[in-house]
Amino acid sequence: MKYVDEFRDGELAKNIAANIAREADPQRSYRLMEFCGGHTHAISRYGLADLLPASVRMINGPGCPVCVLPIGRVDQAIRLAREHGVILCTYADTMRVPASDNLTLMRAKAGGADVRMIYSTQDALKIARDNPERQVVFFAIGFETTTPPTAVAVRQAAAEEMQNFSILCNHVLTPPAMRAILDVESSGAVEGAVPLHGFVGPAHVSTVIGSRPYETFADDYRKPVVIAGFEPLDVMQAILMLVRQVNGGRATVENEFTRAVTRDGNLKAQALVAEVFELRDMFEWRGLGSVPSSALQLRPEFAGFDAERRFSVDYIAVPDHKACECAAILRGEKRPQECKIFGTVCTPENPIGSCMVSSEGACAAHYSYGRFREAV
Ligand code: SF4
């Protein structure tokens, strides 16, 4: 398949691995964060960490949409479905994110709440049109990739003057999260915060926002960034490019994923998002805590479609499960296998933390692929 097979060639992967091994200085350490869960999945699935020399370590970041969703946000959605009787629509992974009282949206549905899994925002609009007597709420989550379709839905609902459609907006932004991680690292405020030498930049997110927003990390934080596609050769090539930048004392933004990412990104999508959304002052992330200007809310002209206002459901912060290490894992400070309940109490069938829910989550990826490698 074009654009897939040529990026999964084993021989080429070995060549790139040999270049990395030759060029990486064994006396120094290269701690490279793959921000995005798609890269975490690719690294685990294709065993890429096994191809790297000991001096190069990949550190997973917080770029998995359901992983960064705090418990209190899922609680809000459950309250909407159970107490306000809305039809709550959301994407599949979100249905299994653990909430308070041992609940998930899936379990709330089993208990009678009207929770529906959808594939697109258009499905949610259709449900609203088909049920004019019911309130329909779309539980909107995700990074810059999933925000444009939500903006389209809100604009469509406004154009049709729909009175029974709203969104519970949890769209978050990549650059503020990267900044939060670097600020934690440089402040030394958190014990165990890892020093990072560079980022593998997101693929899909960057098709929307372009490479320009990462330039601050190179210019102001002196951290190299290489935007990479999700195929194994993309990731390996990005690692080689990062090693070369570190060796050369350079910090620039490079784009390995030129087949899809430009410096300016998708201007049409950006304009659409800017028309419908504005920055939230503060948003709580799982793992990163409250991060200023790191998420979106509806602009005042679309505020009638804001489920939080329509139903007066406030956000209430809830601590993670005591044994769960998701917060430290999302900051890159711990690995899944360092959680005491990994693979025993917490499995993809019974996730205790959010990192075990989606295939992009570090714990789920390690459970699916990495634990077998450790066993041999
Ligand atoms: S194994 Fe489960 S409980 Fe532990 S950090 Fe991962 S998701 Fe959280």
Nearest 5°: the CA angle 320, 323, 325 is: 70
Burial label, 26 (beta-carbon count in 10 A; 0-12, 13-18, 19+): exposed
Sheet (strand 115-117) strand order: 115-117, 87-90, 136-142, 165-171
Contact partners, residue 194, CB within 8 Å, separation at least 6 = 31, 59, 185, 331, 332, 333
Quick check: CB of 71 below 6 Å from ligand 1? no
Residue nearest to atom 6 of ligand 1 (CA): 363
Quick one: which H or E segment has residue 34?
A: strand 30-36
Local confidence pLDDT in tens for the 376 residues of the chain? 777 788 888 889 999 999 999 999 999 999 999 999 999 999 999 999 999 999 999 999 999 999 999 999 999 999 999 999 999 999 999 999 999 999 999 999 999 999 999 999 999 999 999 999 999 999 999 999 999 999 999 999 999 999 999 999 999 999 999 999 998 776 655 555 668 999 999 999 999 999 999 999 999 999 999 999 999 999 999 999 999 999 999 999 999 999 999 999 999 999 999 999 999 999 999 999 999 999 999 999 999 999 999 999 999 999 999 999 999 999 888 999 999 999 999 999 999 999 999 988 999 999 998 766 555 4
67 lines ligand 1 (CB under 6 A): no
Q: How far is ligand 1, taken at its centre, from the CA of residue 182, in Å?
A: 23
Read off the amino acid at residue 194: V
- Is residue 156 within 8 Å of 272, Cβ to Cβ? no
Give residue 356 CA to ligand 1 midpoint distance, Å: 6
- Residue 376's pLDDT is 47
Distance 209 CA to ligand 1 centre (A): 31
Residues 354, 37: Cα–Cα separation, whole Å: 12
Please identify, by atom number, the ligand 1 atom nearest to the C-alpha of residue 336.
Answer: 6
Closest to 46 (Cα-Cα) out of 186, 207, 192, 234 = 234
Atom of ligand 1 nearest to the CA of 342: 1
pLDDT at position 2, please?
74
329 close to ligand 1 (CB < 6 Angstrom): yes
353 lines ligand 1 (CB under 6 A): yes
| Distance separating alpha carbons of residues 3 and 294, to the nearest angstrom | 33
Strand pairing partners for 296?
Answer: 279
Q: How far apart are alpha carbons 172 and 150 in whole angstroms?
A: 12
pLDDT at 194: 67
- Beta strand pairing call for 296-298 and 277-279: antiparallel
CA 347 / ligand 1 centre spacing (Å): 8
